[in-house]
Amino acid sequence: MRSETSLREPPISSAVAGAVALDYGRQASVAFGSRASRAVLHLACLLVAGIFLYAAYAKVIDPNGFIYDLRHYRLFPDWTLHPLALMVPWWEAFAALALLVPSWRRAGSVLTGLMGAAFFVSVSQALYRGLNISCGCFGHGEDAARAGMQTLALDLLIVVLSFYIFRAAGRSRQPAVSP
């Protein structure tokens, strides 16, 4: 038979069970959050890598068109245009591939972020000076995109996503909390 004292005080096992349930709920939400975070990280990496691989491909197959677009920015001396046209697409491709390799993600995100910022500044100065030019992002030709606000938005998106990838890839390398 139960004593009156045991009815008023919850048994210790209830307190332990409550703490275990709270801890399990916290672990479950952390596990779900990290699964969702990993999915967002992978999507961000795929998006930025896809943009950079497509841009690199367009420049590699038409380096003369890229030189033409670079010249119209009026930022670089003529003697730098050929080396830039040869190097930039490969930097873009390397950075994109680095985003797809988990151990290289942070390095890739630094490269894509810096290139995105450089592209943003280049397009901004062209717009400020009133230059009506092709951005040179995804190739050269009649249907090439004009440098404008959409280009700036894309460059800004690249910078923001690169920063996110850098931060998220750093968190994913942290040791997991043991139960």
Rounded-to-integer distance, Cα 38 and Cα 66, Å = 36
Specify the 3-state DSSP secondary structure of 134: strand
Tell me the whole-structure pTM to 2 decimals: 0.73
Q: Are 53 and 96 in contact (CB under 8 A)?
A: yes
What does the pLDDT average to over 126-136? 85
With b for 16 or more beta-carbon neighbours within 10 A and e for fewer, the 128-141 pattern comes to eeeeebbbbbbbbe
- The DSSP 8-state label assigned to residue 47 in this structure reads H
For the ranges 8-12, 80-84, 133-137, 149-153, the one whose mean pLDDT is highest: 80-84
Q: What is the pLDDT of residue 137?
A: 81
Q: What is the pLDDT of residue 10?
A: 47
The full set of domain ranges for the chain reads 44-172
What does the pLDDT average to over 153-177? 83
Specify the 3-state DSSP secondary structure of 10: coil
- State pLDDT tens for residues 19-68: 444 444 444 334 445 777 888 999 999 999 999 999 999 999 999 999 99
